[in-house]
Amino acid sequence: MTSQHSHVIILASTSPRRQELISSLRIPYVIQASHVDEDTPENWTPREIVEGLAYRKAEAVHRSCLNDTERSIIVGSDTIVLLDNEVLGKPKNDQDANRMLSSLQGRTHEVYTGIACIDVLTGRTLISHRITSVTMKSLSNRTIQAYVNSGEPSDKAGSYAIQGLGATLIDRIEGCYFNVVGLSLSLLSDMLSELGMDVL
């Protein structure tokens, strides 16, 4: 069956969650890891962090595609959790995950996800982000430790996965759910449309 879409997506991420989200849109895509340095200046705002890293990932893949003749759009993305102006990235270990979850429990935090799209043939670039507010339940130390023991927090910003066992920790969200998973599909579809690819 031939695709009805005019472009192929090149996802600059090895995240299984982002791959699942892209595949749910039923558009042709390939995975190409960016392998970029994710360190950022200390004075960057949350928006600058997620948009800057999303662009850095997409641009790294773009450099390797400069001789491509196929109509492709590279998609880079980055997610962080923000609590009291402190950026919570991925935990270093179980103790760090426990610390993050203890600070998040019973409180509202913000999840920022940046998206960068680059048209391979024209080089046209769009960069944007979404913010979702997430309120976590009040949790006992035992519940937090049990969740950490599950292994799920290990590679997640803020030490939880809203689409997995972490869903049991969440009281409510305000904004785009998929933004918390790691890629706002509504924002991405708008950006792709602006680059000439309509998801529907």
Q: Where are the domains of the chain?
A: 8-194
Q: How far apart are CA 90 and CA 112, in angstroms?
A: 14
pTM: 0.91
Question: What does the pLDDT profile of the chain (200 residues) look like in tens digits?
Answer: 334 567 899 999 888 889 999 999 888 999 988 888 888 888 999 999 999 999 999 999 998 876 666 789 999 999 999 999 999 988 999 999 999 999 999 999 999 999 999 999 999 999 999 999 999 999 999 999 999 999 999 989 899 999 999 999 999 999 999 999 999 999 999 999 999 998 88
Reported CATH class of domain 8-194 = alpha beta
**What does the DSSP 8-state code read for residue 154?**
G
CA distances from 14 to 32, 78, 182, 188 (A): 7, 12, 12, 17
Any catalytic annotation for residue 39?
Answer: no
Query: What residues pair up with 172 in beta bridges, in sequence order?
Result: 135
> Which of 39, 78, 94, 96 is an active site residue?
78
Enclosing H/E stretch for 101 = helix 94-104
